[in-house]
Amino acid sequence: MARNICDVRLLLFVAATAFIFIQVESESQCTSQMRLLIDQISIQQGKIVALEEAKKLQDEEYVHLKALVQDLEKKGLQSLLNHLEVPVAAVVIMACNRPDYLQRTVQSVLKYQTSVASKFPLFVSQDGTNPDVKNVALSFKQITYLQHLDFTPVHTERPGELIAYYKIARHYKWALDELFIKHNFNRVIILEDDMEIAPDFFNYFEATASILDSDKTIMAVSSWNDNGQVQFVHDPKTLYRSDFFPGLGWMLSKSIWDELSPKWPKAYWDDWIRLKEIHGERQFIRPEVCRTYNFGEHGSSMGQFFKQYLEPIKLNDVHVDWRTMDLSYLTEDKFVRHFAKLVADAKPVHGGPDAVLKAHNIDGDVRIQYRDQADFEQIARGFGIFEEWKDGIPRTAYKGVVVFRHQTSRRIYLVGPDSLKLLGLEDA
């Protein structure tokens, strides 16, 4: 009996030991599994964090790439628009053998042309082979270089004439044919290699281009006033029509060039345009204050009139936003009424040797009648303005009237014998 009890106790002990062992083993396995599960969770959390970091980087990269694409699209579109944009006018600087002058002119033009280069592509046309002039032109990447080579002997029509005037006329015809016919520009602005330009030069020509196109009574637009010396100008916003071709920085259209090119003269092209048989009833737009300044004391004209008439020219230094201005008063029907009123409102003064003194003693605008060219020259000499006429027309004149400022804002009108009738002011 006692032995059986011992056997039972032994069995119970063994069973308890086995149970404990099983429990310990089970707990050990649970602990291992828990650790494994924790490790796996940690690994997955690490992957999540890594994925979140990768997504963050991808988002940042996406934003960067999107901005880059938008910028490229914008630039590409702008480039495309630039290529599609029709230029307002080609600008050509006529050059020959003055590299220092050309350098100064190009630098002045580029100062204001760079921001509007697509509207006003820039050319230099050289007549001849002067290497220094060519090197100056080619040193500017913004310029398209043209070279006129014509070694045909020049035969002057009258003894004592300068060959240079014949060569200049040849060069002009060649260059304008190149730009209008070969390059197919609608308008061209012609500068010479001894000019500086005003800050609003390109704005001025852009604003007047539509008038040149639409008003067939306008032959060209000029940036020059022959009586633009500092003592004779006041208002940078004032424009006039003129029967006298000013030149010296001017714009013409392809239709006008198609007319002029076949009959272009052998020499003295500017005086040729001033002939009534060439310009007919058409006129020219000019400013009161010049948009170009001619610094060329030495050249084909041998400095003619330079000290008296060219050196004192006032180059506009005020920025005028021509695009915001109503220039419709320049059309033929409106301008004649506009100008007639200005002349009618001016106080009449008799001419003669003391005309300047009489005008000086009167407040407000003054008009002085001249009888003929000799009388005009005497009065003009007294004031110090240009005396010269071409084919019966005084420089700057509109219907025989020459207007300039005297003592700042006051206007002086020198009125021809037929001017009041032409302006519809017979009774004035």
| Distance separating alpha carbons of residues 267 and 299, to the nearest angstrom | 16
375 catalytic per annotation: no
For residue 56, give Cα distances in angstroms to 47, 63, 69, 357. 14, 11, 20, 86
Which tokens belong to 423? 């302006």
Residue 235 DSSP class: -
Residue 185: CB atoms within 10 Å: 24
Residue 86 DSSP class: P
Between helix 99-113 and helix 131-138 the angle, nearest 10°, is 20
Between helix 99-113 and helix 201-214 the angle, nearest 10°, is 80
| Distance separating alpha carbons of residues 13 and 17, to the nearest angstrom | 6
Render 133-170 in DSSP notation, one character per residue.
HHHHHHT-TTEEEEEE---PPP--SSTT--HHHHHHHH
Q: If you search the block for the tokens 């100062």, which residue do you land on?
A: 111
Catalytic residue among 270, 333, 354, 375: 270
Q: If you search the block for the tokens 């001619």, which residue do you land on?
A: 294
HSE on the CB side for 190, CA within 13 Å? 24
| Distance separating alpha carbons of residues 410 and 428, to the nearest angstrom | 20
Closest among 150, 281, 151 to 216, alpha carbons compared: 281
Closest among 393, 41, 38, 396 to 233, alpha carbons compared: 396
Strands 218-222 and 410-415: unpaired
Strands 292-294 and 195-197: antiparallel
For residue 255, give Cα distances in angstroms to 125, 290, 332. 21, 26, 19
Rg (CA), the chain: 42
Catalytic residues: 270
